[in-house]
Amino acid sequence: MIDVRRITKRYGSHTAIENVTFSVAKGEVLGFLGPNGAGKTTTMRILTCFLPATAGTAHVAGFDCFDQPMEVKRRIGYLPENPPLYHELTVTEYLTFVGRLKGLRGADLTRQEDRVLERLSLGHVRDRLIGNLSRGYRQRVGLAQALIHDPPVLILDEPTVGLDPKQIIEIRELIKNLAGSHSVILSTHILPEATAVCQRVVIISGGRIVAEDTPERLSAQLRKSEKISVSLKTPPADARDRLRAVAGVVAVFESQEPGAFVIECELGRDIREDLARMAVTSGWGLLELTSVSLTLEDVFLHLTRHEEGIAQGSRLAGPTASSAEETSP
């Protein structure tokens, strides 16, 4: 549905993004992760035909963003970073305007309006001026605007900014429901959001794609060892050494809390059962035993901070990542 190939955008001498390549299948939700200034918005603006790319090609639904912008624009719903709202219009007036701008008319327009108002629970503010709405409502009106013509492709630049936790969950549910029938690109720097909503994640840093995979696989790839956290009620004085002696254990670290340990063991080996048996038979009072997995947050920090680490540590995303490798010493 979306196909981006080796896109580069330069502003004068400043390179915003370089050789960015990725694609989104029909019905897929792709998370676009990256620190501020990484090039997320620039990439999205190129896809929506707001900006032309300096080099490379972008296709949406089979149409070239540069040569056939009208066809692309008809098929895209776009929520920019700042929702593009006219404060002097009411919610309904605004949606009517955007709907007409997107080519809707008559009964079709009214039906779509009712649909998005209902879907984003905006019904009770439909006749209020946008300027008088709270931040959360404005964000939802912005989202309603992107959905009004029921486009096959949605590009959402930080859609949950400014929403309260309940609304965030609602919007995430909404986006999840869109998956399957719509292709969605969603940028965020809230990592749990990407884990919660996206089937695939692209991590972009300094204008380059540094990794691309499912959230689960990304964290798995970076894991060099299994980590298990153990909490004991009455640990013996030599608990550390005795834990160390369990087959497969590489290292044991004592946590700040009394009786809590983090045990590192060989990759791909599950020693939780052995540990549990030992703790119970020795009467240490086992309180907790969990396997610690790397969150996307760790992956993100790892990838965007220590770029050299990923070259060996994980399987990288296709051709773009290899270009990242070439340049990193």
Shortest Å distance, C-beta 23 to other proteins: 20
Count of residues in contact with other proteins, rule CB under 8 A? 31
Single out the segment in contact with other proteins by CB under 8 A; choices: 99-107, 174-182, 229-237, 262-270: 99-107
Residue among 50, 126, 260, 323 that touches other proteins (CB under 8 A): 50
Question: Counting contacts by CB under 8 A, is residue 103 touching other proteins?
Answer: yes
DSSP 60-100: ETTEETTT-HHHHHHTEEEE-SS----TTSBHHHHHHHHHH
Query: Residue 241: which H helix or E strand, with range?
Result: helix 239-244
Residue among 5, 6, 74, 244 that touches other proteins (CB under 8 A): 74
Q: How far is CA 58 from CA 23, 48, 80, 212, in A?
A: 9, 10, 18, 18
Residue among 100, 111, 305, 315 that touches other proteins (CB under 8 A): 100
Q: Could you tell me which residues come within 8 angstroms of residue 233 by beta carbon, excluding any fewer than 6 positions away? A: 259, 284, 285, 286, 287
Q: Which of the 8 DSSP states describes residue 234?
A: S
- Helix, strand, or coil (residue 24): strand
Question: Counting contacts by CB under 8 A, is residue 82 touching other proteins?
Answer: yes
- Whether 79 and 186 have beta carbons less than 8 Å apart is answered as no
Q: How far is CA 131 from CA 74, 82, 240, in A?
A: 27, 14, 62
Please state, in angstroms and rounded to a whole number, the distance separating the CA atoms of residues 241 and 278. 13
Of the pair 187, 304, the CB lying nearest other proteins is at 187
Interaction pattern, residues 166-195, with other proteins; x per rule: CB under 8 A = ------------------------------
Of the pair 102, 200, the CB lying nearest other proteins is at 102
Shortest Å distance, C-beta 103 to other proteins: 6
Q: Is the dihedral of CA 252, 254, 259, 261 positive or negative?
A: negative
Q: Could you tell me which residues come within 8 angstroms of residue 139 by beta carbon, excluding any fewer than 6 positions away? A: 83, 159, 160, 161, 162, 163
Shortest Å distance, C-beta 108 to other proteins: 12
Looking at residue 246, its amino acid is V
Residue among 78, 137, 261, 284 that touches other proteins (CB under 8 A): 78
Question: Counting contacts by CB under 8 A, is residue 10 touching other proteins?
Answer: no
Of the pair 104, 249, the CB lying nearest other proteins is at 104
Of the pair 93, 297, the CB lying nearest other proteins is at 93
Shortest Å distance, C-beta 67 to other proteins: 15
Runs of H (alpha helix) within 67-197: 69-74, 91-101, 106-119, 135-147, 165-178, 191-197
Of the pair 51, 294, the CB lying nearest other proteins is at 51
Shortest Å distance, C-beta 53 to other proteins: 11
- Beta bridge partners of residue 253, listed in sequence order: 262
Shortest Å distance, C-beta 42 to other proteins: 12
Residue among 19, 21, 42, 48 that touches other proteins (CB under 8 A): 48
**Tokens matching residue 219:** 């964290």
Of the pair 33, 49, the CB lying nearest other proteins is at 49
Of the pair 101, 169, the CB lying nearest other proteins is at 101
Q: Which residues bind other proteins (CB under 8 A)?
A: 11-12, 45, 48-52, 70, 73-74, 76, 78, 80-82, 84-89, 93, 97-98, 100-103, 105, 145
